[in-house]
A and B are shown apart, each in its own frame.
Chain A
């Protein structure tokens, strides 16, 4: 065993070391990265915020390109004239302040029930059969903030959106195709459609 004096000295060393580490790693390092981010890459560092031009010729921030958002009325009912994102388990849906998945297991009766209800809702709203609905439309993402849907789910919604807005299906369909993001480098991840960006383009198409 080491003497009490050695032990005290050792803790005194550890204490001073931790103070210096906190100053360097806990303050200098994150502040340096913040400085770099804010000076060199401010758009990314501040959350890839998306602004649109308003009728009054000003601009307005409507969200982040990376964070999914709801297209529902005040009661949470999906608005059929917008492309709908995936189901979300973050708060009441796409609550960006409380990211979360459902954490429901594969045999959880709540999840089974939710998948059945979501299937029926889409069958009804879009007039499709259950087997035509892709998995991402029926399942909540890990973050609850997934900004993307699969190309299949976007295409499935074209007819409904076009009808609700009274514009030709072909132009809405073309919009979906032009908003398609392929796999990164052609093979990483899955092809996606960013719902917010698609809907912004959609709003422009109307006006």
Chain B
């Protein structure tokens, strides 16, 4: 019974996504290629001093990404430090330096890792004018970089890959803002709050007292999901009834966080002039998604482990209104994208159930991945898959008419190595430096034994992949974690972007080579199979040893 309902729920989601991905994908293809600016955009370009018609080299595009992000970090940092003088601070003090740094980096990198509990830390001004702004901008940056890479495949013999400021502006004004407004209103009807009331003290029915929070939540919630950001307005994130009041708002929020990433393959197919190329990418993403979702749902419905066994089900850290299937669907969607919002506490999942969100992130968040970052991550894997196929069967390594030469494969390979290096180094250092280890064990780790290692591993996996979800028992508001995770988020976001844009520049400079009998078709099912294989082998297997030390060991006890 539960299983059939769970399947029906997924089918509903699939049907809606199937209906939306074409119009939305085509719309995105249009807004990133049209040469017509809206009146408001022309005025914006004049205001900020940008010539919308001048295309940038990949280096210039990259510098603009970095400048925009650096300024973003500065803004969010400054707003947090100035909290006491801002309106609606709810009496909270200024955010300390270390936490401000971590949070600023976190929101600018589309991670939304939260070392803090928003309920008792962030006033409304910081939330709306600091954090939510980056929810839009960081998502638009991700899509811009993905589009720049796609242009690399489309353009020939050119030194430019588009204009970052135009891509950023259109992503925000034509895509994210209109969708966020619609989504926020839908969430309002479902009971998500939107006010500036502060706390309302009530006498409860049985004579106790309760302090009910307020806040501009719906506006934040909409872009939090839509931009695959994930930073909750409240500590409990999308488990909080004011963020996610019912089973249907739950499904709607899952839809929001999947809709852009699952539509971008269509955009890609349209832009490269072969929609089947887009479908191959989409099929790869969807297959991994369904397999991973099935696994975590089975693990949680089975409810293995001592405490779930005693309680008669894995309901610790889950909300009644979502049930297990509504929780695992959210958990899969949030970690297979770069969202990191949660509607259930992953720390309390069964050992193997809790491993799945971790594994999802370790795959590189490509199924379907974050807004933009999912598409460029998957295209990098496609480049590697084409190269592997070339080695295996002697085909010419080329993808979409572009030769995958030594330079291209080097860039793709370095891209692939970045996040595992950050995750494994960060986790290892947490236990290898004696004073850090002492602090991590005494202050940060919440659950004893193997589960404690999983908490630290999850934290670095989440930060380096810009996810933001957590095994939230971990106390991360310490000098070590604020700094180390901050660095992991920065490098995990911008180093890959450097190599993606370099690859885009390298591809754009090439001419197209005509397809020959020796060309591997990349729009057929066998390529989908190959791409799935490559994804799993070169990413997940990297982490197998460390998974064996944490969740696997705990689950097999």
| A residues apposed to B, CB below 8 Å | 2, 7, 9-18, 20-22, 24-27, 29-30, 32-34, 36-38, 40-41, 44-49, 52, 60-64, 66-72, 74, 79, 82, 86, 90, 94-109, 111-112, 115-116, 119, 131, 133-136, 138-150, 183-185, 187-190, 192, 196, 199-200, 203
Contacts and interface: CB of A to CB of B under 8 A. Distances in A.
B181 A33 contact: yes
A102 B195 contact: no
Nearest to A116: B310
B2 to A, nearest CB: 9
Contacts of B185: 33, 36
B321 interface: yes
Contacts, number: 376
A73 to B, nearest CB: 8
Interface string B170-212: 0010000100110011001111111111011011111010111
A17 B196 CA distance: 27
B421 interface: no
Contacts of B12: 188
Contacts of B242: 47, 66-67
B202 A61 contact: yes
B348 interface: yes
A29 B136 CA distance: 11
B187 to A, nearest CB: 9
Interface string B382-395: 00000000000000
A13 B64 CA distance: 9
Interface of B: 5, 8-9, 12, 44, 47-50, 59-60, 63-64, 67-68, 70-72, 75, 117, 119-120, 128-130, 132-133, 136-137, 165, 168-169, 172, 177, 180-181, 184-185, 188-197, 199-200, 202-206, 208, 210-214, 216, 218-220, 222, 234-236, 239-242, 245-248, 250-251, 303-308, 310-323, 326-327, 342-345, 347-351, 354, 446-451, 454, 471-473, 554, 557
Contacts of B188: 33, 36-37, 40-41, 44-45
Q: Choose among B5, B320, B557 the residue with the greatest number of A CB atoms under 10 Å from its CB.
A: B320
Contacts of B210: 63, 67, 69-70, 94-96
A147 B245 CA distance: 10
Contacts of B208: 69-70, 72, 74
Given A17-B165, A46-B197, A141-B239, 10 more contacts: A17-B48, A22-B133, A37-B194, A47-B212, A49-B212, A103-B447, A104-B348, A142-B318, A184-B247, A189-B248
B75 A22 contact: yes
A126 B200 CA distance: 34
